[in-house]
Structures are given as structure tokens and as C-alpha cells.
Amino acid sequence: MRNYIFLFILFFFISNIVFGQETIFEEKTTIYNNETSGGIGMHTNGFMGTFRYGKYLTGFTKLVYEIEVANIKHPKEIRSINPFENDVRGYVFGKLNYFYPLRPSIGFHKTFVPKQSVRGVSIGYILHGGLSLGIAKPVYLNVQEDERGTNNKIIVSRRYDPEVHQQIDIYGRASFLNGFDELKLYPGFFGKFGFHFDYAQRRETVRGIEVGLTTDIFLEEVPLMAFTDNSFYFLNIYVEILFGSRKVE
């Protein structure tokens, strides 16, 4: 279902961009020196945010320094809720860790279909490589336990342990602030290939849609879920909206 959503978004934006082009040359071409941009997007297993700084090598190629942060979910995550309680937070049964890769990278961007008019579109490809510094934060849940020394039941926040916590004892997701003193780093490598569609009406402005593939490869398996297989690599389709500006120094 998620892949169909991606395909619909991709078709919608590309069709609007391509069919909205004009072939009248309305503006003299300016050679810019640098470009800054940022964006937000989604991929097949989460969301992402990006900041870029690019140096133009020619009028159609640039070297780009990028830092990106994303979250990655296990594809088998299913949200649950305690049906016997009111005002409880939903949770994912079996989820062990939240996972956030930080991706510093260097990329090469090339425009192979230049913009033909102010209201046209340029099309280029991007290729990035760098590090993926994955940060795992353990999941905490509100669970029911016996109060020590009594026969009473109490609700406490505990780090989820699949060997101890049964679904019937889980009341919901605990505060996200729990577990920040238990973060674990998973170092790895990052790569990205995509196509960039810039539809800005002013040449000094960046307004773009980008679609492509990302891959994160870590040095060890990342424990996202219990009761199923985990992996050390993640391949995702992404779509992103980017905004920014170009400057002449």
C-alpha cells in the first residue's frame, strides 16, 4: 500500500511539472556559484529531512555537501492499542528500538535537461555517498506489574523486554523521553541515487521534487523488532520536496 502511495505522488508531481512546461526562452542564463537548499520527504519505511550546500563546477554540474536525518521503521510494524483501557497511547508490539540514521554525504549533481523557460523545468540526476550513523533509542512501555510487598497491581514505565512483557500486560507507549541515556550507535555507510525536477519560476530559486533510492548498510544487524528477522541494510524508495536559493558571489 505504501508503494502505491509513492507511485501516485510521483505521477502527480511529474505530470504537473512536465505538462506545465513552456518552450519560450524568456530569460538570459546566469551562471551561479553556490546553492543552499533544504527539504522534507518520505520513504518506504519512514520520513527524512535534508540540508544541502552546493558549489557549481559548471553551469550544469555541482558538487554538493549534504546532511540528512531520517527515521527507519521495520516493515512489519503494526500499531496496537489496549482495547480495555481509555486514554492510553498506541504502541507497536514487538518493537525494540526507534532508529534514526544521520547521513553526512558528498554528492555530484548533473542537469541533463536544462530549463527552457522561466516556467519550465530542469531535470537532473544526483549521486551521493557517505556515512550513515544510526542512533537506536530503546522503546519504553507502560506495563502492569505487581507492587512489591502487596497484592496490588501498578502501572510503571519499563524498557520493553519481549521475554518478560506479554501483550496483555501492556497499557500503551510510555513517554518518548525515556531511554535517552541508553542510546546506541550503529555506524555504517550511505548511498543515494535519484532524479531531481526543478520547477521554480525564478532561476535564483530552488523549487524541486526529487525521487530515487537510498541505501544504508551498517556494520551489524540493527534490532528493530522482536519475533522476526532484522537486517543490517535498508533499501528505500524516497520522494522529497526541496526549497532553496542560488547565489552569484
Asked whether residue 219 carries a pLDDT value surpassing 70, the answer given is yes
pLDDT in tens, 26-71: 445 567 899 999 999 999 999 999 999 999 998 899 999 999 999 9
The range of the structural domain enclosing residue 54 comes to 2-247
Beta bridge partners of 151: none
Q: What is the pLDDT of residue 49?
A: 98
Give me the number of domains the chain comprises.
Answer: 1
pLDDT in tens, 163-216: 999 888 899 999 999 999 999 999 999 999 999 999 998 888 999 999 999 999
The CATH number of residue 129's host domain is 2.40.160.20
Q: What is the pLDDT of residue 119?
A: 66
